[in-house]
Every structure is written in structure tokens, then in C-alpha cells.
Amino acid sequence: MGNCGVVGVNWGDEGKGRMVDLLTERYDIVVRYQGGGNAGHTVINEKGKFALHMLPSGVLRSGVVNILGGGVALDPENLWKEIEEVRVEDVEITPENLKISERASLLMPWHRKLDELEEARLADKKYGSTKQGIAPFYSDKYQKKTVLAGELLHPELLKAHLTDILEWKNLIITKVYGAEGYTWGMIEDWIEKYCDPIKPFLCDAGRFLMDAQESGKNILFEAQLGALRDIDYGIWPYTTSSTTLAKYAPIGCGAPAIEMTDVIGVIKAYSTCVGEGPFVCEMTGHEADLLREAGAEYGAKTGRPRRVGPLDLVATKYGAQLQTVTSLAVTKMDVLSYMEKIPVCVRYRVDGQETDQFPFPALLDRAEPVIEYIDGWHCDISGARRWEDLPEQAQNYINMIEHAMGCRVQYISVGPERDRIVVRS
């Protein structure tokens, strides 16, 4: 069957967790390879409703091995809290079904603090960070000023290494921001409380994956956020701080030789965006409120209302190209059922010129959406399980997406629960 990536084509929150939860039935291993606990996947299945931030969505299916690869921002505090939370719901998490790369760098308490301090300093110029410390973490990682998870297994080396970093960090926290620094005692307590419990899960994840591939196991890669938040090619600087693209997955998991036969690009039937930055197709006022309510568009991590808009074919096509998708999943089709006419952003107008090319980030503020309307289906589609069950107008909407993307829509999600899906053969 081969390996598969499930990736976001838009700004994140497309419903990737829902798709991974559905597909894990066919895979042996689920891997997270980038990002941290700053976004969240909401999954609803027979075990309950889960908001997963760090854990791969495969933990909800027994028999699946889950990996946190070397490319993730490993936040021991949030990870351990999340493990304890899902265990309450009878989800088993053991070193057999969760493996953490010893190569993953640790997100330290000061990363969260620095994120907050910098957003506060920026005031109305803030980036709209979720304040989970992701940007300070990745900049420290690339400055080689954090520690690898595997160092937890060598306490003496860890102490020496962290003491040096702490000295430098305290200078920044106290002298640049005028805030309170950390003592070694505080860090020691934090290690004992949140890092010691995750030590049994550490391993050479790259080696595990290469062995698994050799013995014929099928691997599913689960991305966080979407193409438009990619650090290199997204709406910079309103991006995340990691690579959200499918091509990075084998590197981020420590097994660059692994290839993906399928990349499923997840698209929401309309657009949402959390935080600051250009969002060309943004709706406002009553129209936006109706869509936000219909789609329950509030952030899984922060509860912030998401900005909403119609499906943006310009951004979505750009995202699908970046993700090298081989097929598409369209989620939340049921949410559009209340609309008589459905708006779609088909092109942008930049400085009076219409274009179907996604502009350079600094020009996005000058772009306006060109909107066309297509007929809505205006009825409940949440019971649809086969293509034939969908009303003609809903089929037309999907055909329009396929035509614009030049790619097959394989899955159409009509509700958040695992079985509310149309799978096309």
C-alpha cells in the first residue's frame, strides 16, 4: 500500500486530525514530524471527543505505533499533561505505542515566556502567536541553544549544557525585557515533573522507522498547520516557524530514505485563518458571523474566533502545489448547507490586474478577491456516504474544486464524526 502524508493545503485547521483518525485503520505507524503544541487536532470517534496538540492522532486507535520525530518542537510540559488527560479517557499510552525521537529538541519554559514577552512588546504589531513558545523555540534550535531530548538520559551532561543556556537566556529575559529570570532550581523541578516521565518513550525514531519500512509496515505522516503557514513559502512573516510541507516529512522523522506514495491534501470547503496577517478572501459582519457559527470556528488551543471567508481557489491551488498533493480531501461540506448561493474566490485583483497566481507575501495586502457565486444545495447532507447520495449542487461544488486544482477529490467529509464521510473509489 505504501506510505501516505496527510497535510494541510490552507492556513491550518482543515480537519487533518479527522482524516488521520479515519485513515489509521489502514496504517501501522503515525508520525508527527514538525511543529509543536501550538495548534490542535479535534477528533471525534467512538472513544469520545479529543483535542490533541502534541500527540499524533493515531494514539486513538489501538495497535498503531505513534512517533514524535526529530523535527517537532518537543514540549514536555504540554505533552505530559496531554498524555495524562487522554489516559483518563481510557486511551492507552505506553512506550509500545508512543515513541519520541531522542533527536527532538526540547521546548523549555523560557520559550513560552519569551513568546508572551515579545507579543506584549509588539502590542498592536503582534504576530498573533498562540504564545506556546514555538517561534523562540525554533530560533534557539537554529542557534543551537537548546537541548536534545536524548540528553535527558545523561543528567550530568544535561545539567552542564542547560546551565550555560540558562545564563544566556536570563540575560535576555532580564536585560532586554526587564522580566524575572529562572533559577537552576526552577528548571530542575520542571525536569523532574515533566521530563522524567517521558524518558521511557525516548528512542532512535529514525532507526525504528527504517526497520519498520523494511519489514513492510505502512506509515502515515501527520502534518500540523497548512501550506500557507510554511516558514519558507507561506504568508511570511505570519507563518509558523517550521516547514509544514509534505516533502519535509521523511527528514523531520529522521528517516530521509522513506518515500511517500500518496499525499492527501486537506482543504476546508470554505476558508478560515487564526491570528494576524493577510487573508485576502476574509468575510466580515453578519455574513462572517453566520459562517463562523455554522462551522463552530473557534481555535482548538486558544478558543479564539477564527477569521472566515469563502473557499479561496488562488491560495488553495498554491497550497496544493506546495504540498505536491496526489489527491484531495474536502472537509466541512455540511457547514455550507445553509447557503442558497455559495461564494467562491476565483481570482485576485492586484493593482487593477486579475490574476490566479498567489502573490509575493508583501503584496497580499494589495490583493482583493474576485468572487463568483455557485448554487448551494440548501439541504442536510450529513447522512451522505456515497457520491450518489450528494445533491447535484454539492457534486458540482466538488467538480469545480477538482477542475480548478487539477486533482481528484477522494474524500468528502460531511460531519466531524469518523463515519461521516464520502469515500470515492
> Can you give the binding site for ligand GDP, defined by CB under 6 A?
8, 12-18, 39-42, 44, 300, 331-332, 334-335, 413-416
Active site residue 351: no
Active site residue 13: yes
Backbone angles phi, psi at 265, to 5 degrees: -90, 125
Nine-digit cell at 180? 524575572
Region of 380 (left: φ > 0; alpha: ψ -120 to 50; beta: rest) is: beta
CB of residue 337 to ligand GDP, shortest distance in Å: 10
d(C-alpha 10, C-alpha 7), whole Å:
9
- Nearest residue (CB) to ligand GDP, 16 versus 113: 16
CB of residue 236 to ligand GDP, shortest distance in Å: 21
CB of residue 389 to ligand GDP, shortest distance in Å: 14
- Nearest residue (CB) to ligand GDP, 206 versus 226: 226
CB of residue 294 to ligand GDP, shortest distance in Å: 8
- Nearest residue (CB) to ligand GDP, 68 versus 162: 68
Under 8 Å between Cβ of 181 and 167: no
CB of residue 41 to ligand GDP, shortest distance in Å: 3
DSSP per-residue codes, 155-194 = HHHHHHHHHHHHHHHHHIIIIIT------HHHHHHHIIII
- Nearest residue (CB) to ligand GDP, 17 versus 69: 17
Helix (H, G, I), strand (E, B) or coil at 339: coil
**CA quadruple 49, 55, 57, 60: dihedral positive or negative?**
negative
- Nearest residue (CB) to ligand GDP, 226 versus 252: 226
d(C-alpha 135, C-alpha 336), whole Å:
35
d(C-alpha 213, C-alpha 220), whole Å:
12
Q: Which entry of 13, 75, 230, 312 is annotated as an active-site residue?
A: 13
Q: Which entry of 21, 28, 41, 403 is annotated as an active-site residue?
A: 41
Under 8 Å between Cβ of 53 and 301: yes
CA nearest to 357, candidates 317, 390, 391, 394: 317
Angle separating helix axes 134-142 and 109-122, nearest 10 degrees: 110
CB of residue 170 to ligand GDP, shortest distance in Å: 35
The catalytic site residues sit at: 13, 41
